[in-house]
């Protein structure tokens, strides 16, 4: 084993420790694709044993990379920090980016001014790529970031221009169908849905899944569904309205866990017992919500961590310069049974 130099380990120290040329070590450290897996593992082991950390400034000059990846959320700032789902997305993104030694830049881009600032930041060379979440119908963000020429992966399908984009979504329609079929299997016949905003693709897909399972025509589907924002207040308001329109309802599919808890509040206020009178199923399986509600919530589980991991993996492929087809991945969901159904 070669003797390492005094002070902070250098690239030369790693090369000597691994018994591999400096050029090869540099290719591994900088994420080049034309390196054998065995060589990559050997270099990574030497890096770990020596505690080597690349000089980011020097590395940027060579690779023309900043070591920063942006996470862009197209929702109001207050919602991001109040909604446990978005908190889970941010935590997952921070964890996944830290495992690949990347700094996270969080951008909130809901208003036109915020979108303009975000696009200006992304196009100014401050970041190597972006993970973009929750674009709504008419949102200019997907088209704007696509034109910048940096690698971008979308969490959830954009409304328009999805062809040729890297997208990682979850099986929203299939999950809603599964939730509704559970309610049907329990003997529930008048199953309404507290659905999400009509300008969000995930909400529309979940509404479609409920309608497919219920085999409802447009008129009856409109009577038995009520849109609302993905929050407690929206769920409570929508449930109150559905109780007025369909007073003998006996099942509810809510398009999010927060909406489901809001629906539980409205049902309780109306004197309806859950699950005896009305069975309720949510969507998300947020531990701080689904397991803490009274009764605990039967729901469809999606995994924000798995979605972010897949997005980061695709982004890294792009950053390595690998020529790959646009990826369109749909992640599975899982039905979790608890007390509400």
Q: What is the pLDDT of residue 113?
A: 85
Q: What is the pLDDT of residue 56?
A: 46
**pLDDT band for position 46 (cuts 50, 70, 90):** confident
Determine which of 59-68, 110-119, 320-329 has the lowest per-residue pLDDT on average: 59-68
Q: What is the pLDDT of residue 283?
A: 98
Check whether 6 has a pLDDT greater than 70. no
Q: What is the pLDDT of residue 168?
A: 94
Q: What is the mean pLDDT of residues 162-175?
A: 88
Q: CA-CA distance, 270 to 257, in Å (whole number)? A: 20
- Phi, psi (deg, nearest 5) at residue 149: 85, 10
**Sheet of strand 103-108, all strands in order from the earlier edge strand to the far edge:** 103-108, 68-73, 129-133, 152-155, 166-170, 328-331
More confident position, 133 or 272 = 272
**pTM of this structure:** 0.78
Q: What is the pLDDT of residue 61?
A: 34
Check whether 1 has a pLDDT greater than 60. no
Q: What is the mean pLDDT of residues 103-107?
A: 91
- Positive or negative torsion for Cα 264, 265, 266, 269: positive
Residues forming beta bridges with residue 330, ordered by sequence position: 169
Q: What is the pLDDT of residue 317?
A: 86
Average pLDDT, the chain: 86
Q: What is the mean pLDDT of residues 165-181?
A: 95
Q: What is the pLDDT of residues 234-265, one digit of tens each?
A: 999 999 999 999 999 999 999 999 999 999 99
Q: What is the pLDDT of residue 92?
A: 92
**Burial (0-12, 13-18, 19+ Cβ within 10 Å), 99:** exposed
Q: CA-CA distance, 50 to 32, in Å (whole number)? A: 21
Q: What is the mean pLDDT of residues 74-89?
A: 77
Check whether 199 has a pLDDT greater than 60. yes
DSSP string for residues in 246-295? -TT--EEEESSHHHHHHHHHHHHHTT--TTTT-EEEEEE--HHHHTTSSS
Q: What angle do CA 183, 185, 189 make, to 5 degrees?
A: 60
Q: What is the pLDDT of residue 319?
A: 84
Check whether 159 has a pLDDT greater than 80. no
Q: CA-CA distance, 205 to 167, in Å (whole number)? A: 15
Percent of the chain residues past pLDDT 70, beyond the cut: 88
């Amino acid at each position: 084993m070669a003797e390492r130099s005094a002070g902070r380990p250098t690239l030369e120290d790693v090369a000597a420790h691994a018994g591999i040329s400096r050029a090869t070590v540099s290719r591994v450290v900088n994420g080049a694709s034309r390196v054998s897996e065995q060589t990559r593992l050997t270099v990574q082991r030497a890096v770990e044993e020596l505690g080597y950390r690349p000089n980011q400034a020097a590395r940027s000059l060579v690779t023309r990379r900043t070591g920063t990846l942006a996470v862009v959320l197209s929702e109001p700032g207050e919602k991001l920090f109040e909604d446990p789902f978005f908190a889970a997305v941010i935590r997952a993104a921070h964890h996944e980016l830290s495992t690949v030694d990347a700094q996270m830049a969080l951008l909130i881009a809901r208003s036109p001014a915020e979108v303009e600032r975000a696009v200006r930041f992304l196009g100014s060379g401050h970041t190597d790529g972006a993970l973009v979440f929750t674009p709504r119908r008419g949102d200019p963000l997907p088209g704007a970031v696509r034109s910048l020429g940096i690698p971008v992966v979308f969490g959830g399908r954009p409304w328009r221009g999805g062809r040729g984009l890297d997208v990682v979504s979850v099986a929203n329609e299939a999950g809603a169908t599964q939730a509704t079929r559970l309610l049907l299997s329990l003997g529930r016949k008048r199953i309404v849905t507290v659905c999400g905003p009509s300008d969000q693709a995930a909400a529309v897909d979940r509404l479609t899944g409920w309608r497919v399972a219920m085999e409802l025509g447009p008129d009856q589907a409109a009577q038995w569904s009520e849109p609302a924002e993905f929050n407690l207040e929206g769920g409570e308001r929508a449930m109150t309205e559905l109780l007025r329109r369909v007073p003998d309802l006996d099942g509810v599919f809510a398009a999010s866990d927060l909406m489901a808890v809001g629906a539980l509040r409205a049902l309780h206020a109306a004197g309806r017992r859950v699950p005896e009178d009305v069975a309720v199923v949510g969507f998300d399986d947020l531990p701080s919500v689904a397991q803490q509600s009274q009764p605990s919530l039967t729901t469809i589980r999606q995994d924000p961590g798995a979605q972010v991991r897949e997005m980061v993996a695709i982004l890294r492929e792009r950053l390595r310069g690998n020529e790959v087809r646009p990826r369109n991945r749909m992640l599975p969901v899982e039905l979790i049974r608890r007390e509400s159904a």
